[in-house]
Each structure stands twice: as C-alpha cells, then as structure tokens.
Amino acid sequence: MITLYGIPNCGTVKKARVWLSEQQRDYTFHDFKKQGIDAAHLERWASTLGQDKLINRRAPLGAN
C-alpha cells in the first residue's frame, strides 16, 4: 500500500491523488495538517532526499 504524505489543498498532491486513482492504485493519504508527522520520518527523509526537497519554497507564505 502506498502512503501519500501532504496537505490536501496542494496542487501537486491533488495531481498525485488523481493519478493514483486513475491507475487504480490503492493508497492512503496522510494529511500533515491534521495528523502531523514524527521526527523520525523527517530525519529519514532529510538524510535521503536532502532538506531542500522537504521545504516548499515555491508556495507563498500562508497559502496553505
């Protein structure tokens, strides 16, 4: 099962959810705003992807 992490009003997340549904892929959605995220996930992602990939600098402040 795929877990998609994000916030529901993010355009990229919306596109990913549509694509997963069109591909008939089972997934769960983890809403950061409602469910939060633990430090272990963030540390693992930062060490794998780099901190710049985890921080959205494209969205205007307060947009989400």
Clarify whether 10 is annotated catalytic: yes
In order, the DSSP letters of 1-64 are: -EEEEE-TT-HHHHHHHHHHHHTT--EEEEEHHHH---HHHHHHHHHHH-HHHHS--SSPTT--
Q: Please tell me which residue in 4, 5, 7, 10 is annotated as part of the active site.
A: 10
Would you please indicate which residues are annotated as catalytic (active-site) residues? 10
